[in-house]
Amino acid sequence: MDNVGGVEQPKRYVAIFYVLAAIALGKFLEKISMLVFSYARFNDATVLVEGWTLSTVIGFVVAAAVAVVIWRIPRTQMVSLEIALELKRVTWPSLRETRASTVAVVVASFIAAIVLGIFDFIWGRLSSLVY
């Protein structure tokens, strides 16, 4: 791994992200291929093993090709590595801070709902008197 600014570039994490993104894209393209085959009334036959149909193979082959092509572009690889490096430098909140923030948001949302409910009730009463 390259060392930039005293921090190792997390190439492994970026590669794992690309693999997971390719899997997600493969599932999406598989569903799109299944729809196209069903509209075209084309038999989506089993290709390799049970569960691997032609649409599955097409979806995952195209997704793998897209992931490799995108990874091979120097600009996207550099930007991906910079993003991962920046995320590595982030100071993430502790569990206690996260819990406190979550409770604060829930309480504030509850108070806002009560205030808006009161305004809605009053506005509804005033509207019923006018109309």
**Can you tell me the distance from the alpha carbon of 80 to that of 17, in angstroms, rounded to the nearest whole number?**
10
Q: Convert the pLDDT of each residue in 39-98 to its tens digit.
A: 888 887 777 777 788 888 899 999 999 999 998 999 998 898 889 888 888 898 999 999
pLDDT at 7: 46
- Containing 70, the helix (H) or strand (E) segment is helix 54-72
Residues in the chain: 131
Q: pLDDT category, 124, cuts 50, 70, 90?
A: very high
pTM of the model: 0.62
Unique residue bearing structure tokens 């991962």 = 84
Q: Looking at the structure, do residues 50 and 2 belong to the same domain, yes or no?
A: yes
Q: Could you give the number of structural domains in the chain?
A: 2
pLDDT at 12: 84
Q: Looking at the structure, do residues 16 and 55 belong to the same domain, yes or no?
A: yes
pLDDT at 67: 92
| Residues 6+ away with beta carbon under 8 Å from 67 | 18, 19, 21, 22, 25
* Cβ neighbours of 65 (radius 10 Å): 11
* Cβ neighbours of 34 (radius 10 Å): 17
Average confidence score pLDDT of the chain? 88
126 has pLDDT over 80: yes
Q: Looking at the structure, do residues 8 and 62 belong to the same domain, yes or no?
A: yes
Q: Looking at the structure, do residues 100 and 70 belong to the same domain, yes or no?
A: no
| Residues 62, 21 contacting (CB under 8 angstroms) | no
Q: Looking at the structure, do residues 46 and 84 belong to the same domain, yes or no?
A: yes
Q: Looking at the structure, do residues 26 and 81 belong to the same domain, yes or no?
A: yes
The two tokens of residue 2 are 């390259």
112 has pLDDT over 60: yes
**Can you tell me the distance from the alpha carbon of 13 to that of 7, in angstroms, rounded to the nearest whole number?**
14
| Residues 54, 45 contacting (CB under 8 angstroms) | yes
Q: Looking at the structure, do residues 46 and 101 belong to the same domain, yes or no?
A: no
pLDDT at 37: 87
Q: Looking at the structure, do residues 100 and 38 belong to the same domain, yes or no?
A: no
pLDDT at 1: 46
Q: Convert the pLDDT of each residue in 13-40 to its tens digit.
A: 888 899 999 999 999 999 999 899 888 8
Q: Looking at the structure, do residues 76 and 125 belong to the same domain, yes or no?
A: no
**Can you tell me the distance from the alpha carbon of 66 to that of 88, in angstroms, rounded to the nearest whole number?**
26
